[in-house]
Structure 1
Amino acid sequence: MTGKETSALVDKGALPKIVATNEKGVTMTLPNVEGQPSKSERGKALRQVIAAFVANIGTINTGLIFGFSAVVIPQLQAADTLIPVDESQSSWVASLSAIGTPIGCLLSGYMMDTIGRKKALLLTEIPLIIGWIVIACATNVDMIYAGRVLTGFGSGMVGAPARVYTSEVTQPHLRGMLCALASTGISLGVLLQYTLGAFTSWKTLSAISASVPVVAFVLMLFMPETPNYLVTKNKPDQAMKSLAKLRGSTYNLEREVTQLQTFAQKSNQKKKLTTKETIQA
């Protein structure tokens, strides 16, 4: 292999920089990997962690919904139950949440692009709050049915906005870890439901479960919209303010906004491709 062929296979940008330090030796410094900010370029980590945590509180409800049927059905089938149910009704109580979930999933994608990530997350909490309250106040099995459908609908809505919000407000060195909060929230919800259900009634458990989306809604009011969404809506000034809340005032805000604008322009160009051009690409 010739020297030219060898150099063609080597990415010069990935080679270490050799900087002389003294007469005895040299120091080899690897260049920063593209996309990974150096310590001086990183924003305030705590602010990003808080924003991601708040966005994913709603995912705890998904776990609460999964675990609820295992708690409520044995209590409804007990001899001293307030609302007696047969085997068929028990099956409906366990499965009705799955009817609302896919509808919520489909709607959430449209909502995120239309009204924004933050407002989408706020709206997801409403059917969850109503659903849990309906179950807590239920006097017949039909009310439990309605509550299960509503909570399933809200559960389907929350997944995508929570993950997208997290990925758009965090920097690469934090994104992987914080995007896992959604799965952690679901597991935590199941654990909480099983634990609390061991010594509380299903009505009390429903009331406790209703507090989770309430907390998520209130805290989300104080969170900023994602800079990515604001840039796509041609609101660079608001994107700058959002970044300042997420990264801190000492961070190079202008540079990241410029990067987001460049990415948005490229994305818009790709959207303008015809169906034939897309297939050929």
Structure 2
Amino acid sequence: QIAAAVFASLSSVSIGFITAYSSLTLPQLRNDTSIDFVDTRDSGWIASLPSISSIVGSLLGGIVMDALGPRMTLMVTAVPCLLSWSFIAFANSVALIYVGRLITGVFLGIFSPVPQVYATEIAEPSIRGMMGAFPEAAVALGSLLCYAFGSVVDWRWLAGISALVPSLPLFVSMVILPESPQWLTKKAKLNEAEKSLR
């Protein structure tokens, strides 16, 4: 159960990367000649687009989680999140960075509540409070890792790291881990719910 909560919290690590990325990379982008000139207006959009598009993701998050279950939601959203960082890493224009940041924001909104739901639903009552705290700590860890990597690599490499470090292990672990027993019970999948509790 603890391992499941830790792996589910990798999506929260991803949130930390998304929120910290722009503060580290905007100064580099303004001086990078491999893309269009990034002016003050562009900087504002690059920083704020994830927050704006996360509103859409938040509205979709409950629907997606109810339809797919917390585990499958984390697994399904890991792949587009990884691809959205690829738009940024390989961008040759500010427009592609906009697209990447816009998509990361949508998925930020979708998976923000999911790790906490998953962690608490698979946990025994005696450890539920501790498990529910993992995702919050993981956001801070993601920001810290982003700052650490950002101090030694440029904005393109940091986008690549932001894609791979949380998303790849998240996807692999969610393939292996069980679905939430509460969600399975709600969907009348009682045999699967019983197996997930073992």
TM-score, structure 2 length as denominator?
0.95
**Is 1:133 aligned to 2:86, yes or no?**
yes
Q: What does residue range 202-213 of structure 1 map to in structure 2 within 5 Å?
A: 202-211=155-164, 212-213=166-167
Q: Offset of 1:69 from its aligned partner?
A: 0.4
Cα distance in 2 for partners of 1:49, 1:124 equals 22
**Is 1:238 aligned to 2:196, yes or no?**
no
Check conservation: 1:126, 1:154, Cα contact below 8 A. no
**Is 1:55 aligned to 2:5, yes or no?**
no
Q: What does residue range 1-281 of structure 1 map to in structure 2 within 5 Å?
A: 48-78=1-31, 80-83=32-35, 84-211=37-164, 212-244=166-198
Cα distance in 1 for partners of 2:76, 2:59 equals 14
Q: Deviations over 1:211-265 (max 9, x none)?
A: 0212211111001111111111112111111111xxxxxxxxxxxxxxxxxxxxx
Identity of aligned residues (%): 38
3-state secondary structure, aligned to 2:110: helix
Check conservation: 1:227, 1:239, Cα contact below 8 A. yes
Q: Offset of 1:160 from its aligned partner?
A: 1.5
The letter for the 2-side match of 1:119 is M
144-153 or 233-242, larger mean C-alpha shift? 233-242
Q: Deviations over 1:18-59 (max 9, x none)?
A: xxxxxxxxxxxxxxxxxxxxxxxxxxxxxx100111111111
Cα distance in 2 for partners of 1:195, 1:233 equals 43
Q: Offset of 1:81 from its aligned partner?
A: 3.7
Q: Offset of 1:82 from its aligned partner?
A: 2.1
Q: Offset of 1:130 from its aligned partner?
A: 1.2
The structure with higher relative contact order (CA 8 Å, sep 6+) is: 2
How many residues are matched?
196
Check conservation: 1:55, 1:166, Cα contact below 8 A. yes
Cα distance in 1 for partners of 2:38, 2:125 equals 51
Q: Offset of 1:209 from its aligned partner?
A: 0.8
Higher helix share: 2
123-132 or 52-61, larger mean C-alpha shift? 123-132
What RMSD over aligned residues (CA atoms) do the two structures have, in Å?
Answer: 1.1
Cα distance in 2 for partners of 1:128, 1:55 equals 15
Cα distance in 1 for partners of 2:77, 2:111 equals 6
Higher CA-based Rg: 1
TM-score, structure 1 length as denominator?
0.68
**Moved segments of 4+, more than 4 Å:** none
Cα distance in 2 for partners of 1:68, 1:147 equals 12
Q: Deviations over 1:84-129 (max 9, x none)?
A: 2111111111111112211111111011211212111112212311
Check conservation: 1:52, 1:178, Cα contact below 8 A. yes
